[in-house]
Structure formats: C-alpha cells, structure tokens
Amino acid sequence: MEKTFNLKTTHHDQMLDITSEVASYLREQNVQDGIVIVSSLHTTAGITVNENADPDVKTDFLRRLREVYPWEHSKDLHMEGNTAAHMKVSTVGHNQTLVLTNGRLVLGTWQGIYFCEFDGPRNRKFHVKVLVG
C-alpha cells in the first residue's frame, strides 16, 4: 500500500513535521507491522528524522546547512542557481525507512519525520510506501 501526499512550503529553507500525516495514513490502512518508506519526490527537498520537541533544533539544523552549503549563484555552473539545495538533499537524504510495530511507528520520544525544503517556497510531494511483514 502506498500514497502520495501534497504539501506547500512557505520558505526557502524549511522543515515541516509530517509525522502525524504519516501516522494517520497508517492508522487508516490498519497496518500493524511492517516497514514504512517515506520519500521526497524532489531533488531539492529531502526527508529526515530529527527532534520534534524543541523548535530551535530545526532553526539550528537549517542554519548549519546554510553555513556548509551557502547559496553562491555567481560561483555555481548550474543555471537554476540551486546547487546548494541539491547538496543539502544529498547530505540529508531523499528518504527514510521506519519500522511499524503494533500499528505504531517506532520512533524515539523526541523523534519526528520532517520534510526538508531547500529551494522553496513550492508545491511539493512526498510518498509513503508500506511493506507489510
């Protein structure tokens, strides 16, 4: 079973917590055990698992990525000017694989699933695939 979700980002760099959307979908499907793959369908937006309690973590995370991969359009050959966004996704990754046990995602107390926008704002998509086992 699988589903593609739509979302709209509002900032150039942004982390959106999508944990509840993924968990809700899994409840609707009444899946008890398996593997869940959450994938971004873009080359300039990724998926990560990180802390979802303190919003400063997202702020710091994005700031550190900007420090490592600054936007330097004048130096990049890629004509769209978003090479830094591509580099960030290659670092963060475009998907995450999660475990589902007894109908619940196996996440730590402070963990959440994030859609990471690096070239927004845009209309975006992410895909959830469940491998039942």
**Does the pTM exceed 0.85?**
yes
Cα separation, 33 vs 102, whole angstroms: 6
Q: Domain residues of the chain, as ranges?
A: 2-132
Query: Average model confidence (pLDDT) for the chain?
Result: 94
Cis preceding linkage at 121, omega within 30: yes
Other C-beta atoms lying within 10 Å of the C-beta of residue 10:
10
Look up the CATH superfamily of 2-132: YjbQ-like (2.60.120.460)
Strand order in the sheet with 14-17: 14-17, 111-117, 45-51
pLDDT at 3 over 90: yes
pLDDT tens for 85-120 read 999 999 999 999 999 999 999 999 999 999 999 999
* Residue 43: burial class (beta carbons within 10 Å; 0-12, 13-18, 19+): middle
Max CA pair span of the chain: 52
Beta-carbon contacts of 33 under 8 Å, excluding residues fewer than 6 positions away, are 100, 101, 102, 132, 133
